[in-house]
């Protein structure tokens, strides 16, 4: 039977309170081991923070979480670590979630699972009372994961819909083709940069901080989070509509859209300020906090218990990585095969299997992946070949049961379309496809095939009319590939 004692607040040996030194050392070693196990997840997250403006705010998440913990330090008065092995149960679930995300090829899922394992390791060493006292800063760590990129196409469609609705209300003649909107003043494109993801994610992170600092009621905190999610989406649609209306009155789409990203950040700052002012009348941060309690706690855990709990957590966290390491294909590079492009009317066959259509030259290739790769390899290669400029024009071409995803560079000099096949049929990037290839990656089977058709324009920058004409011609070429490159890719994807 363990003995309990009351620890007076402020008892400390130097900077670290008595009874915490051994637990913190074990926790530090656990974090180092987890960092080594999940180094690829950490590296991918840091790369995204640095590369994407939608996630630059993630650099501030750890300092903010540390500040939230510091403001709650009085809750730890009289508390000692209480190591427990009970958190091994949810850790097992997190480890299985990591394995599923790894086989599905979802990096965000792997990062969420790795973060959950780190938090559970902390709770195993320090105890559930520490977790309850520091629930807010621990929960805020979720913004370390750069999630939300999957929502960009939906946000683009919402923005385009709001623009079209606004043009109808104001009676401005227009023509809309997916994400391309044409008015008498010119052509507007709802590019990925116009989707508002960077505003929405940053607003959600700020809204969570605002809710944790200014409110105590779970209902009010939830309301702030809902507003922080919905308001930026609506505001971004109104901002985009305003740019189109400005272009209409100026008579030039390019003049109105030249600095829309800069103006967007100014507009976003105004929206955030409006959210802050809206919440001030309902603030609860002035309410007196409950005084810290002198809690009867167990004696500091023995080093053997600390090491045992930490070792159990690390064993659970490392098992899925070991399994995937044993089943991973040593050669994950795709093999390139020339695509058999069929020329539509108005196009002729050129050298090396290319097509010449008016002043454009089109080339195609098929990339055959090893059966043991996950779908993330297919997605990553497709994104690399298509380009990741968030101001590029994106469009979809439906050719039979094949859906080609196209991108056109802002200057119009590059057009690329990609499509993928698995087990003889077209495959998207959804959960069903990822699950099927995840199963294939474990047992072996058919190989994924990625088709890439590209156009390289040798002339200078293309104007808006030329870009529209090039896209229309590109669509005709892709629609003609049913019995050509599409059938070739389907046949190759059946081969083991």
Q: Does the pLDDT value for residue 447 go beyond 90?
A: no
Contact 337, 365 (CB under 8 A): yes
Question: In sequence order, what are the residues at sequence separation of 6 or more whose Cβ sits closer than 8 angstroms to the Cβ of residue 490?
Answer: 421, 424, 425, 426, 449
More confident position, 457 or 112: 112
35-62 pLDDT per residue, tens: 988 998 999 999 999 988 889 999 999 9
Distance CA(155)–CA(201), nearest Å, equals 12
For position 11, what pLDDT does the model report? 45
Per-residue confidence at 195, pLDDT binned at 50, 70, 90? confident
Quick one: pLDDT band at residue 401, thresholds 50, 70, 90?
confident
More confident residue, 228 or 495: 228
Summarize pLDDT for 118-129 with one digit per residue, the tens: 999 999 888 899
Tell me the domain boundaries of the chain.
Answer: 16-147+301-326, 150-282, 328-493
Q: What are phi and psi of 359, to 5 degrees?
A: -100, 15
Q: Which tens digit of pLDDT belongs to each residue from 259-271?
A: 565 566 777 888 8
Task: Give the per-residue pLDDT at 312.
Answer: 75
Q: Is 95's pLDDT higher than 60?
A: yes
Mean of pLDDT values over 175-191: 85
For 207-235, the three-class secondary structure string (H helix, E strand, C coil) is HHHHHHHHCCCHHHHHHHHHHHHHHHHHH
pLDDT for 288 beyond 70: no
Alpha-carbon distance values, 425 to 282, 365, 430, 451, 484 (Å): 55, 18, 14, 13, 14
Best CA proximity match to 247, nearest among 232, 259, 235:
259
What is the pTM for the complete model shown? 0.83
Please report the pLDDT score of residue 419 as a whole number.
Answer: 92
Name the CA dihedral angle for 91, 95, 100, 101, rounded to a multiple of 10 degrees. Answer: 90
User: pLDDT tens, 362-377?
Assistant: 889 999 998 888 888 8
Report the C-alpha gap between 199 and 235 in whole angstroms.
Answer: 10
């Amino acid at each position: 039977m363990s003995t309990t004692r009351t620890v007076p607040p402020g008892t400390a040996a130097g900077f670290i309170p008595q009874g915490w030194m051994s637990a913190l050392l074990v926790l530090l070693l656990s974090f180092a081991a987890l960092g080594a196990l999940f180094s690829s997840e950490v590296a991918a997250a840091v790369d995204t923070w640095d590369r994407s403006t939608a996630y630059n705010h993630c650099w501030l998440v750890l300092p903010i979480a540390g500040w939230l913990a510091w403001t709650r330090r009085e809750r730890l008065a009289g508390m000692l670590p209480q190591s427990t092995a009970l958190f091994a149960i949810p850790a097992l679930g997190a480890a299985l979630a990591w394995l599923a995300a790894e086989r599905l090829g979802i990096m965000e899922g792997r990062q969420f699972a790795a973060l959950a394992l780190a938090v559970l390791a902390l709770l195993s060493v320090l105890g559930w009372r520490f977790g309850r006292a520091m629930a807010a800063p621990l929960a805020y760590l979720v913004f370390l994961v750069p999630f939300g990129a999957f929502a960009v196409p939906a946000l683009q469609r919402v923005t385009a819909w709001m623009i079209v609705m606004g043009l109808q209300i104001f009676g401005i003649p227009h023509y809309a083709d997916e994400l391309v909107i044409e008015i008498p003043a010119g052509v507007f494109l709802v590019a990925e940069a116009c989707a508002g993801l960077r505003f929405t994610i940053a607003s959600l992170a700020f809204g969570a901080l605002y809710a944790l600092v200014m409110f105590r009621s779970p209902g009010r905190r939830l309301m702030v989070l809902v507003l922080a999610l919905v308001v930026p989406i609506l505001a971004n649609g109104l901002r985009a509509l305003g740019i189109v209306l400005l272009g209409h009155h100026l008579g030039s789409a390019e003049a109105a859209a030249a600095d829309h990203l800069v103006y967007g950040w100014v507009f976003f700052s105004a929206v955030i300020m409006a959210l802050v002012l809206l919440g001030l009348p309902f603030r609860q941060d002035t309410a007196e906090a409950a005084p810290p309690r002198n809690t009867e706690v167990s004696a500091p855990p023995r080093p053997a218990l600390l090491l045992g709990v930490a070792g159990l957590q690390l064993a659970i966290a490392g098992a899925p990585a070991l399994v995937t390491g044993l089943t991973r294909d040593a050669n994950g590079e795709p093999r390139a095969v020339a695509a058999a492009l069929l020329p539509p009317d108005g196009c002729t066959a050129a050298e090396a299997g290319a097509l010449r259509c008016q002043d454009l030259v089109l080339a195609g290739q098929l990339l055959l992946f090893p059966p043991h790769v996950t779908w993330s390899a297919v997605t990553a290669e497709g994104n690399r070949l298509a380009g990741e400029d968030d101001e590029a024009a994106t469009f979809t071409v439906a050719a039979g049961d094949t859906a080609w995803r196209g991108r056109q560079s802002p200057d119009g000099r590059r057009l690329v379309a990609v499509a993928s096949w698995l087990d003889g049929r077209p495959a998207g990037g959804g959960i069903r496809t990822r699950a099927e290839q995840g199963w294939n990656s474990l047992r072996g089977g058919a190989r994924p095939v990625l088709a890439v058709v590209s156009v390289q324009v040798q002339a200078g920058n293309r104007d808006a009319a030329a870009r529209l004409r090039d896209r229309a011609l590109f669509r005709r070429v892709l629609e003609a590939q049913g019995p050509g490159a599409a059938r070739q890719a389907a046949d190759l994807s059946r081969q083991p």
